[in-house]
Amino acid sequence: GCQVSKEPCKQTQALTSYSNEGTQMTVEIHPKDTTPQLFKKHSFGKGPRRLPRLRGQDNKGFQRTEAPRPPGKKDLHAYPWDKSSLKSMPVDLQQFEKLDAYALKVNVKNSVEELVKALLKQARTDLEKVRAIWMWICHHIEYDVVGYHNKSQLSSKPIDVLQMGKSICEGYAGLFEHMCSIAGIQCMKLSGHSKGNGYKMGQTFTGDSDHTWNAVYLDGRWHLLDSTWGSGAVDDSFTKFTFRYNEFYFLTHPALFINNHFPDNSNWQLLKPTLTLKDFENNMLHNSNFYMLGLLTAHPETAVIQTVNGKASVSVDCLSATLFTFKLKGTDEHGLMTLKKHGMKLDLYPQKTGSHKLQIFAKPSKASDVYNCVLEYVVECKSVDKAMRFPKDLHQPVGPSWFTERQGFLRPSHLDPIIHTNDGRCSVTFTLGKDISVLASLHCDSSSLTEDMGRRHIMQIHRGNQIELKIHLPHAGNFVLKIYARKKSDPGNYDYVFNYLITCLNTEVKWPAFPQSYSKWVEDYEILEPLSSLLPANRNVQFKLKMHGIAKVLVQAENAYPLTQSRGYWEGTCNTSGCREVFVMVHENANHSFYSHVLKYEVESQ
């Protein structure tokens, strides 16, 4: 499907075509004043000996390459990907730093030969020659969005592409092939179907091929690359191109390249076994971000996911700690994402039937980078699970993880993102890292739970470096337990760390809030009784509090009732007759004449 331009022949060219049966026919064209010569050349390192090349001389003395051989057994890589490398040969990018910087600065536009000559000044090996050509094209040729829409204005001749500084894929691949040819590197222009701009998940590919890329011959094997996609990207409306260099498409491992490049001639997949067009259509599209972020695999491997009883699940495996987020039809409300040490798991519960677009985003854990879209699925929902409607306040990801561990929340009692309680009570414990102060609040979609009351349904109990969050739910339903932290040494605001989903189906549940505490109530004090902020009227109520470093404790109702100290606890009773509120007050120093309020209770109306 590649066209040969009808330029007058000035230099030795080798035109090679392959029939579907794999028969090879090579036609050599020589200018009158040249004679073909055979010569041998050894590749760098300990690689296999290079095939002899045909050499023709033009006026500038560049070597010409012989007819490229078709791919054979030794070019093939195993499919599926073995997760060993993103490249099809060992490449040390650090060794390219000087060469890359040099190639970017080369500024020659008058002839392709002069450009190659300038680029090769710093390139010794064939790999370095290919790298210099690749870097130059990726940073100097922009995608011609106007020409794409109006092909009559377009020329894909290498000299025109060079001088215009823009082209479409045919021009990129043609210039690459021509420059490699001048540099004495075997190179092929390949065409086929691609999952590029405008690709819709699950679409079928018919008719002519829509994209062109290259194969280069290095170290005795064929390798694949795509300089069009290496150079940048076009916006969704296909009106603006942005240079954004993408290393992924340089010598890409064929088992990854097949993800979005399907050559017309299946031999150029360089895979064993080869994939069918149907395989290509059905396979999940992993874009370059997916692999560049160190992600390895995603499940399911099909682009369309059917829900089962209103639920669909996706998981991703990766090499190192990575942060994820997602959007299902533009929102992250209808799922539970949990972070794993080497990946993430996502359970989705769409609240409407039909087709939903799912996007999954990721970023490295230490980077302040933005999230990049790494996966797209279509979720087909046949039935809705109404019980799994989550509160709006639920943040993704849910539950503890390596991330919360880094924030100082160690050894969580509950590893799952959901805590189920039948009687409306539960308790979550952690070992805290040094110097951490915790704030927790409870949220649900009903407006009855104010922010202040949301905090009052949680009681913190500290024992050494252990923290227990005791939770009493005000009613049945789905709740979010949000956990915030700050350094004690840093008196700034609390930062959100993570959350749990707490569910209770028991409609009998109706726990009152814990007593209101004041600033003098110290972190490691503890209430043993009464836990409810609402005390019965006209009753004797037993008090038991754990407090230290205090001279006296008084319970102030209609009358004052002193508590007595015994084995670290302050105990006693108080009568609630004739009052609406009860306060616990402490005398911090026997020499002081005033008491400080630490707790407040309400008394039920009579």
Q: DSSP readout, 314-354?
A: EEEEESS-EEEEEEETTBSTTEEEEEETTEEEEEE--SSSE
pLDDT at 138 over 60: yes
Which of the four pLDDT bands, split at 50, 70 and 90, describes residue 588? confident
- Dihedral pair phi/psi, residue 451, rounded to 5°: -60, -40
Report residue 180 as tokens.
Answer: 């490699």
Best CA proximity match to 32, nearest among 14, 57, 4, 5: 57
**Cα–Cα distance measured from residue 86 to residue 249, given in angstroms and rounded to the nearest whole number:** 9
Report residue 77 as tokens.
Answer: 């890589």
In a domain, 279, yes or no: no
Which of the four pLDDT bands, split at 50, 70 and 90, describes residue 7? very low
Number of domains in the chain: 4
Based on the domain organization, do 317 and 370 belong to the same domain?
yes
Is the alpha carbon torsion for 359, 360, 364, 367 positive or negative?
A: positive
pLDDT of residue 63: 53
Best CA proximity match to 428, nearest among 478, 481, 388: 481
Last residue of a domain, one of 450, 482, 504: 504
In a domain, 74, yes or no: no
pLDDT at 560 over 80: yes
In a domain, 22, yes or no: no
Report how far apart, in Å, the C-alpha atoms of 554 and of each of 98, 489, 566, 573, 595 are: 77, 32, 15, 10, 8
Find out whether 7 and 160 touch, Cβ atoms under 8 Å.
no
Based on the domain organization, do 370 and 336 belong to the same domain?
yes
pLDDT of residue 21: 40
- Dihedral pair phi/psi, residue 260, rounded to 5°: -135, 10
List Cβ neighbours of 65 (8 Å cut-off, separation of 6 or more): 14, 53, 54, 180, 181, 184, 185, 186, 187
pLDDT at 41 over 70: no
For residue 328, give the H/E element and its range.
Answer: strand 322-328
Entry field: residues in the chain:
606
Based on the domain organization, do 128 and 255 belong to the same domain?
yes
Helices 97-105 and 126-140 cross at an angle (nearest 10°) of: 50
pLDDT at 13 over 50: no
**Cα–Cα distance measured from residue 318 to residue 491, given in angstroms and rounded to the nearest whole number:** 37
**Cα–Cα distance measured from residue 495 to residue 502, given in angstroms and rounded to the nearest whole number:** 21
- Region of poorest pLDDT, from 12-21, 85-94, 139-148, 476-485: 12-21
> End-to-end alpha-carbon separation of the chain, Å?
91
Based on the domain organization, do 147 and 246 belong to the same domain?
yes
Helices 169-182 and 126-140 cross at an angle (nearest 10°) of: 150
In a domain, 324, yes or no: yes
H-type helices in 183-239, by residue range? Answer: 227-231
pLDDT of residue 542: 97
Average pLDDT of the residues in 385-400? 94
pLDDT in tens, 98-109: 999 999 999 999
CATH code at 528? 2.60.40.10
Report how far apart, in Å, the C-alpha atoms of 512 and of each of 425, 530, 601, 603 are: 11, 11, 11, 12
- What stretches of 406-457 adopt beta strand conformation (E)? 409-410, 418-420, 425-432, 436-443
To 5 degrees, how large is the angle CA 234–CA 236–CA 238?
Answer: 55
pLDDT of residue 605: 87
pLDDT at 3 over 80: no
Q: Which residue has the higher pLDDT, 448 or 225?
A: 225
Note the maximum CA span of the chain: 120
Report how far apart, in Å, the C-alpha atoms of 227 and of each of 64, 65, 124, 209 are: 22, 21, 21, 17
In a domain, 52, yes or no: no
Report residue 305 as tokens.
Answer: 């996911």
Based on the domain organization, do 197 and 244 belong to the same domain?
yes
pLDDT of residue 377: 92
Helices 112-119 and 126-140 cross at an angle (nearest 10°) of: 120
Based on the domain organization, do 202 and 100 belong to the same domain?
yes
Find out whether 62 and 113 touch, Cβ atoms under 8 Å.
yes
Report residue 350 as tokens.
Answer: 């769409």
Average pLDDT of the residues in 204-231? 96
Which of the four pLDDT bands, split at 50, 70 and 90, describes residue 152? confident
Question: Domain limits at 580?
Answer: 516-603
Report residue 331 as tokens.
Answer: 């929102």
**Cα–Cα distance measured from residue 526 to residue 554, given in angstroms and rounded to the nearest whole number:** 16
Based on the domain organization, do 351 and 459 belong to the same domain?
no
Best CA proximity match to 199, nearest among 210, 183, 215, 185: 210
Based on the domain organization, do 491 and 552 belong to the same domain?
no
CATH code at 134? 3.10.620.30
Whole-prediction pTM value?
Answer: 0.78
Based on the domain organization, do 145 and 225 belong to the same domain?
yes
Last residue of a domain, one of 473, 504, 535: 504
* CA 358 distance to own-chain centroid: 13
pLDDT at 294 over 80: yes
pLDDT at 481 over 60: yes
Conformational region of residue 2, where left means phi above 0, alpha means psi within -120 to 50, and beta covers everything else: beta
Last residue of a domain, one of 504, 536, 570: 504
Average pLDDT of the residues in 400-414? 96
Based on the domain organization, do 492 and 581 belong to the same domain?
no
List, by residue number, the catalytic residues.
169, 211, 226
Give the pairing type, strands 166-167 and 241-243.
unpaired
Average pLDDT of the residues in 472-489? 95
In a domain, 217, yes or no: yes
Based on the domain organization, do 372 and 242 belong to the same domain?
no
For residue 416, give the H/E element and its range.
Answer: none
Report residue 536 as tokens.
Answer: 């019965």
Based on the domain organization, do 549 and 491 belong to the same domain?
no
